[in-house]
Amino acid sequence: MKTIHRSILLRLLSVWLLLTPLAVGLGYWIEVRKFEEDLVALVSQHLESVSAGVQDDDVGDKTRYRATREFVSRNYLFMRIIDETGKVVAEGDNPVHEALTGKLRAQFAPLPQDGRRHVSRLEIDGVTILRVAVNLPAGLSGRKRSLEGAFIIDAQELQQQRDRLRRFLGAIVLVSLATTLALYPVILSLNRNVLRASREILQGNIETAAVLGAAIAKRDSDTGEHNYRVTLYAIALAEKVGLEREQIRYLTLGAFLHDVGKIGIPDAILLKPGRLDETEFATMKQHVGLGLEIIANSRWLAPAAEVIGNHHEKVDGSGYPQGRRGEDIPLNARIFAIVDVFDALMSKRPYKPPMALEQALEILRAGRGQHFDSALVDAFCDIADERYRALCDLSETALSKILVAHVSRHYL
């Protein structure tokens, strides 16, 4: 469940990281456009007033008018008024900025005079300049006119713009992050029933596999404890050698169902107390193929095939059914072969008493490089004493509870 929660949160944050630059870019464009529009409006207001012959006392918002006039008179490089025929009817340069105006005129193309507003921003000698072309009111003559001008955006105004931009973009980032995090519990709430159902289905599948394996084990040896113990031993060895969670899940399924094919072996052979003859042993070996057939139509059980089909292989190639050698045998099958033999040696059977721990470990060590993977035997011997003493006296019910806890750690 924690993995699902983490996955949802990581996906939401990934979407946030993907969309935030787009939102910030759009916000930046909007804020820059707003700044330019405010500046054009400021200039236009003054020029409209001037062109209509309006005096200070005639303007309702005198403070704003004076600020506009001061900005224009202080910051303009040049201004010119053009009539509807394209003729310049009035123009003037600011003598304070004569050198900068000369450089500007040397490198800019005239803005279009098409009746629409145009804005162009550029840098000259580290100075930010805004060029504008706007329509002016028709005035008493009724003729259409336009203004073209260039204005310096001073450092104070630029800093104010940057401050506003930072605040605006910061707000976008925070709001988008807050929205993303707010969606997290909403999505969890909407999917809670789905998650619960998925967990119950998974738990049911695991329990079904465990019960089926235990049922087969009981048919073979009158006890399901073997199946639970070998699965716990296999998980412990897999964790010891650092297998990934996915591989441990596959190993667990294989351990549950390693002998599922024995359901098709006759009782006379399966329950025979003595050694099997050659014909009987040939029949017994068929349980591997039968087990693979049983799980063949289940996609969920398919990963168990590594153990079911290979747990009787030996690293020297003398095993069955295919005589595989060394690392040609899947790792999960090599792990399971060790714990399966170990528990068989340590268990009471109709034809033998349980073996002493050190004697069983000596048999495993003697099989290094022949029956078993040497490195895996060494790893198992490091944990065998502790694991055996923890599990050897437990009932089938107690083993089942421990197994559920271990399996849940890797599946849920």
d(CA 370, CA 364): 10
Mean pLDDT confidence for 395-411: 80
Would you place residue 289 in the very low, low, confident or very high pLDDT band (cuts 50, 70, 90)? very high
Q: What is the DSSP letter of 109?
A: P
- Give residue 73's pLDDT band: very low, low, confident or very high (50, 70, 90): low
Task: Give percent of the chain with pLDDT exceeding 90.
Answer: 31
Q: What is the pLDDT of residues 349-368, one digit of tens each?
A: 766 788 999 999 999 999 99
Compute the 3-state secondary structure of the chain and give helix, strand, coil in percent, each to the nearest 5: 65, 10, 20
Residue 95 has what pLDDT?
82
Q: Regarding predicted confidence, which is higher, 238 or 193?
A: 238
- pLDDT, tens digit, 9 for 90 and up, residues 262-278: 989 998 888 887 788 99
The SS3 assignment for 115 reads: coil
Which range (12-21, 100-109, 397-406) has the least confidence? Answer: 12-21
Name the burial class of residue 298, with classes exposed (0-12), middle (13-18) and buried (19+) by CB atoms within 10 angstroms of its CB: exposed
For the cut 50, the answer to whether the pLDDT of residue 56 exceeds it is no
Structure tokens at 359: 């004697």
Mean pLDDT of 90-109: 80
Active site residues: 262
How much of the chain, in percent, has pLDDT values that exceed 70? 72
Q: Taking all residues of the chain, what is their mean pLDDT, rounded to a whole number?
A: 79
Between 164 and 234, the higher pLDDT residue: 234
Phi first, then psi: give them for residue 160, nearest 5 degrees.
-60, -40
pLDDT at 157 over 60: yes
Q: What does DSSP say about strands 145-153 and 118-124: parallel, antiparallel, or unpaired? A: unpaired
Neighbours of 18 (CB within 10 A): 9
pLDDT at 358: 95
Higher-confidence position of 308 and 46: 308
For every residue of 309-346, DSSP letters joined together read HHTT--TBS--SSS--BGGGS-HHHHHHHHHHHHHHHH
pTM value?
0.56
Q: Which pLDDT band holds residue 46 (cuts at 50, 70, 90)?
A: low
What average pLDDT does range 184-201 have in this prediction? 66
Instruction: State residue 56 phi and psi, 5-degree precision.
Output: -55, -40
Do 298 and 309 form a contact (C-beta atoms < 8 A)?
A: no
